[in-house]
Structure 1
Amino acid sequence: MSAEFSDAPAPRALSSVFYVYDVVREGDELVYYGEPLVDQRTLHQTAWPLFDERGYEVSIESRPGETVLVAEPARESGAAFPWTNVALAVLTVLTTLYAGTQWYHVDPLSLDVVRALPFVAAVMGVLGVHEFGHYLMSRYHDVDASLPYFIPIPFTPIGTLGAVIKMKGVMPDRKALFDIGVAGPVAGLVATIVVSAVGLLLPPISVPAAPAGTVSIAFGNPPLLRGIAWLLGQPLAYGDGLAVSPVVFGGWVGMFVTFLNLLPVGQLDGGHVMRAVFGPSYERVAPLVPGALFGLAGYVYFALDAPNGATVWLMWGVITSVFVFVGTAHPANEEPLDRKRLVVAGVTLLLGLLCFMPVPIRIVG
């Protein structure tokens, strides 16, 4: 073994799970050729901490006729300026600003465009706080994660498809998987509640009368939003050419995103939480989620006569089917969660249910 890799685990350290017959340096990687003595999951769970404590990332690869362990020095994240993240965030500000002008009924090419800035702050705030919750907890557990990538989508009601972060490397244990998975929804819910309350306390806006025969979109109100409005003594709807501040819709977005992310399947936050709570056995239950969403779509279509609402759940039935196929994270250490985390899981999932609405979108007119 070369001096550059002298601090890497010696082959004998792997003898209980992997018979090593050769170690070769290939560029920046150290490749252990050998024969696995256990199943791949056990091999990874045993090898990962040996490499991690020495500052290496390790993966298992299948090559023609053999299995290899590939180790490379862990890279420091965040060294380069995140130009892509910044550029996407700026573009998303512009697309949400344009969407906001439609809610405030102002000319997007006039100085009145500044009236839509509270809408931009509300939408990007709830989405950004959600993703930064994941990011900060990833850094806490030394899991390599990117800054949030916002997704600008022009000419839509909110101007964005949300935001995501990318994580690389191995999830060390179920505690880290849980903490990272639950941090986004918890942080996002706090931001959502604040944004909703602020929006409800803002004065209503004037809206022009819609021409006869105009098709409009109506959004359902989840129990959490109705509860906040009740506590504040504020209406969720006005008459006589008035409407609630569009900032409230920013809160609605946060609630809908929270519910979708807490669907207990695959790489969604809910999938991470449930996998951390129940361990590998949950992977046998996750395939039931798409079927439940297809059933919900049928109920909304036939019983509630809301084809557009049914389309939302039909689409998410397809999306979660893909997540089931891809699978969930596999932490290196399967030690069960402590009681405190189990309580947090229960409370978070309950709050997620308060964000559910059978018919999130309905076409009116």
Structure 2
Amino acid sequence: MDSRDTAAEPPVDALRSVFHLHETRRDGDRVLFYGESLVPERMLVREVWEAFREAGYEVQVATARGGREDVVVARPVQSGIDGIPWKNIGLFLATIASTLLVGALTWYYIPADELLANPLAVFRAWPFTAAVLGVLATHELGHYVMGRYHGVDVSLPYVIPFIFPFGTLGAVIRMRGQMPDRKALFDIGVAGPLAGLAATIVVTAIGLSLPPVEVPAWALEGSSRVIVFNNPPLLDLIATALGEPTEYTDPAVSVNPVIIGGWVGMFFTVLNLLPVGQLDGGHIVRAMLGESQERVAALVPAALFGLAAYLHYVLGYAIDESVGLWGFWGLLSAVIAFKGPANPIDESPLGTPRLLVGVATFALGALCFLLVPIEVMTV
């Protein structure tokens, strides 16, 4: 049910203590209060937020009438899904199709002419699709469930279809509501990586326990250059615990593609834990350190560019390998950092238990990090 159906009248008396009210208007389901703020904007929101929230509203401050007046905008908080999420469903189905196709062609070595003759053969790649989407969906649903728990308006996950090598670019959710405090920001931010890592460990263990796939002769012919996805430390730890190999000396045998779902989960965990802007790491560090997070975020692009330069100029890796990967993320992290992190209403610091969980989360993320996740090798 949408909270717009149950929202009470906005608590005007709470607003009058920090706002000189001139006029009130309604614009659809929004209530607009025109006047002059008696305190700075962030203080105004902090002072009235709790009363408006209890009445079923979120508040924002803007300017109106050529900047001569302030306007407080109160809109009902959404507490449910409004209608059928067709966009989420459409993207999910498209990503199922893209991961099935990429999985069939790339990881199960089904020739393109066989797929053209028998399109249903693509479903032989369903374990790969289930592994990749299971890890990504679990990560995003961790955010979603915790967002709903804290009463923050968050969308269902949007899964993004793509092409080689995984058939997807990952998944995202949108946090459309205000963040009540640093505890909620931390819980929502950390829930995704922890849920995703739990799914990643399960998927990796299953993949290691499944039999390898045979590489057909035609796939071994032609180009002598192959793309290698190196093992993160966490993957090697799981393999060692289970006593299972992660590679074979026989080139005609390859690991089960379900393991790739685990690799994807680990790699996206590293990227999501970068402590910048709206990434999970940005939310977690913003909640842990407060506004000091922005100083940390400013160092991330430089660190990634430095990593790319080290790989290229010192270790001699080519641009089309991990050099380009870290360089791209250096640029992207600069853009994300520029947009800034989420700012909670209540800046009360976190307690020790949450700080310890945050440190543990980054430690687990470090087990997923690789200096050279992808490289091109000659065989």
TM-score bucket of the superposed structures, by smaller chain: over 0.9
The residue aligned with 2:22 is: 21
Q: How does 1:330-341 map to 2 (within 5 A)?
A: 330-341=343-354
The residue aligned with 1:282 is: 293
Aligned equivalent of 1:88, options 64, 85, 91: 91
The residue aligned with 2:248 is: 238
CA separation of 1:163 and 1:212: change in aligned 2, threshold 3 A: same
For 1:262 and 1:284, the matched residues in 2 are separated by 16
The residue aligned with 1:207 is: 215
**Is residue 362 of structure 2 the alignment partner of residue 353 of structure 1?**
no
For 2:8 and 2:156, the matched residues in 1 are separated by 33
Comparing 100-109 with 288-297, which one deviates more in the overlay? 100-109
The residue aligned with 2:82 is: 79
Distance apart, 1:212 and its partner CA:
4.4
Aligned equivalent of 1:106, options 97, 103, 110: 110
- Identity across matched positions, percent: 53
Distance apart, 1:16 and its partner CA:
4.4
For 2:366 and 2:8, the matched residues in 1 are separated by 52
The residue aligned with 2:174 is: 166
Aligned equivalent of 2:147, options 138, 159, 173: 138
Aligned equivalent of 2:280, options 269, 279, 287: 269
Whether contact under 8 Å (2:77, 2:153) holds in the other structure is: no
The residue aligned with 1:61 is: 62
Structure 1-normalised TM-score?
0.94
Q: Deviations over 1:102-132 (max 9, x none)?
A: 2111143435433211100000000000000
For 1:7 and 1:113, the matched residues in 2 are separated by 55
CA separation of 1:85 and 1:5: change in aligned 2, threshold 3 A: closer
**Is residue 237 of structure 2 the alignment partner of residue 227 of structure 1?**
yes
Aligned equivalent of 2:265, options 254, 266, 270: 254
Gaps of 5+ in 2: 1-5
Whether contact under 8 Å (1:181, 1:272) holds in the other structure is: yes
For 2:41 and 2:299, the matched residues in 1 are separated by 26
For 1:115 and 1:25, the matched residues in 2 are separated by 56
Aligned equivalent of 2:192, options 145, 160, 184: 184
Distance apart, 1:6 and its partner CA:
7.3
* Residue identity in the other structure for 1:144: D
SS of residue matched to 2:334:
helix
Distance apart, 1:138 and its partner CA:
0.6
Whether contact under 8 Å (1:60, 1:68) holds in the other structure is: yes
Q: Which runs of 4+ in 1 moved over 4 A?
A: none
* Residue identity in the other structure for 1:213: S
**Is residue 353 of structure 2 the alignment partner of residue 319 of structure 1?**
no
For 1:248 and 1:48, the matched residues in 2 are separated by 47
Whether contact under 8 Å (1:306, 1:359) holds in the other structure is: no
The residue aligned with 1:7 is: 9
The residue aligned with 2:205 is: 197
* Residue identity in the other structure for 2:370: M
For 2:317 and 2:264, the matched residues in 1 are separated by 20
Whether contact under 8 Å (2:8, 2:55) holds in the other structure is: no
For 2:172 and 2:78, the matched residues in 1 are separated by 21
For 1:54 and 1:19, the matched residues in 2 are separated by 21
Comparing 296-305 with 242-251, which one deviates more in the overlay? 296-305
Structure 2-normalised TM-score?
0.91
Gaps of 5+ in 1: none
Whether contact under 8 Å (2:79, 2:148) holds in the other structure is: no
The residue aligned with 1:216 is: 226
SS of residue matched to 1:22:
strand
SS of residue matched to 2:156:
coil
